[in-house]
Amino acid sequence: AVPAAEVQKVRELAKEAALAEGKPAAIVEKIAEGRVAAYLKEKVLMEQEHARADVYGKKTVRDVLKEAGVTAVTDMVLMRVGG
């Protein structure tokens, strides 16, 4: 999980950037939430597009696991190829 403080920092920076761009104050919150969602999509494994798009299409890791009947991820292994 992404720490709440990190999410809050991203939200605040997004609000500041939107205001600096001259966006109306009424939509700054929506812009910030959109940027937070984009940030989390990049950082959270389950929300990322599966690496094998050639096999699974543009599905997220969560969607691929759900189709395979996986209800929870309890362990993860990082494998490196090469040196």
Residue 53: what pLDDT? 86
Residue 51: what pLDDT? 86
pLDDT band, very low/low/confident/very high, at 82 (cuts 50, 70, 90)? confident
Query: Residues near 52 by Cβ (< 8 Å), separated by ≥ 6?
Result: none
* Tokens linked to 8: 């809050």
Q: Minimal CA–CA distance to 48: which of 65, 31, 33?
A: 65
Task: State which amino acid sits at residue 78.
Answer: L
Q: How many helices (H) and strands (E) does the chain have?
A: 4, 0
The CA distance from 74 to 76, in Å, is: 7
* Tokens linked to 45: 């494994």
